[in-house]
Amino acid sequence: MTIFEVTLWGIRIAPTYYGLAYALGFLGAYGWIARRKKFSESELDTLLYAIIAWIMIGGRLGYVFFYNFSYYLSNPLKALAVWEGGMSFHGGIIGVTIAILLYGRFMPKNIWSVADEVAVTVPFWIFLGRIANYLNNELIGYAGYAGPFAMVRDGVRHFPSPLVEAVLEGLVLGAVLWHYQRKNPRTGVLAGIFLAGYAVARIASEVFFRLPDAQIGYLAGGLSLGSWLSLAVLCAGIGIVYIFWYRSEGVRAAR
């Protein structure tokens, strides 16, 4: 959905809520990481541009393969039509992981330190993205909702599940990560906390509030595809926290 449309010198300008969310997310992440002075200006520019590119690639391919593969298999060129919508956060996580691995390959930085710095900024991006979902009337919650901020589709009022996700995946998770970042935890811990925290927030939102994607519905165990993908992310996050926090603490104590 466009925010406004204007034509200047024959050029149509129509910014979208998603575009605004990505732009503000980029600026917020840049400012937050820059103030910590862990990267030079050129290093930070390279990192964030790589992340933006791979978020777009991973997010789009994740949606194509995870959520609507049969459609895009029959209409392969539609996979390139990103302006028509369709991004997967789990695909975006894969994209960011690739970006960080490539960055660590060509830059003298520990990839887990990079992952920690990036992880703390991601909830801000998520918060803005969920607000965009709400404004675009996407990812609706259960029908029959009579409270405030309802999302209306086909004349039916739905629970505003994107706003719950904005709070849980954005504000709450962001506050937790900021709290632990101030304590200077071991390298890798913040990345693990982010993955586990996001997964818990996403599963809770989808189980209690959000409807599954119409083309997929509920899967085994009465869970949506997003919940199943988040369970994998949860396992990864718990494993990372265990390795870098609890296990390293045990090794150090044994010495």
Task: Render the chain in DSSP notation, one character per residue.
Answer: -BS--EEETTEEE--BHHHHHHHHHHHHHHHHHHHTT-S-HHHHHHHHHHHHHHHHHHHHHHIIIII-HHHHHHSGGGGG-GGG----HHHHHHHHHHHHHHHHHHSSS-HHHHHHHHHHHHHHHHHHHHHHHHHTT-S-B-B---STT-EEETTEEE--HHHHHIIIIIIIHHHHHHHHHHT-PPTTHHHHHHHHHHHHHHHHHHHHTBPPPTTT---GGG--HHHHHHHHHHHHHHHHHIIIIIIHHHHHHH-
Q: In this structure, is residue 159 part of a structural domain?
A: yes
User: Domains in the chain: how many in total?
Assistant: 1
E-strand stretches of 66-190: 151-153, 156-158
Q: What is the mean pLDDT of each run of 10 residues along the chain (255 residues)?
A: 64 71 90 92 93 92 89 84 78 94 90 95 94 92 94 95 96 96 90 97 95 89 93 96 74 43
The pLDDT score that the predictor gives to residue 166 is 97
Indicate yes or no: pTM above 0.75.
Answer: yes
The pLDDT score that the predictor gives to residue 253 is 42
Q: In this structure, is residue 167 part of a structural domain?
A: yes
Other CB atoms within a 10 A radius of the CB of residue 74 amount to 8
The pLDDT score that the predictor gives to residue 83 is 65
Range of the domain at 229: 6-254
Q: In this structure, is residue 1 part of a structural domain?
A: no
Q: In this structure, is residue 155 part of a structural domain?
A: yes
The pLDDT score that the predictor gives to residue 214 is 83
Q: In this structure, is residue 102 part of a structural domain?
A: yes
The pLDDT score that the predictor gives to residue 21 is 87
Q: In this structure, is residue 83 part of a structural domain?
A: yes
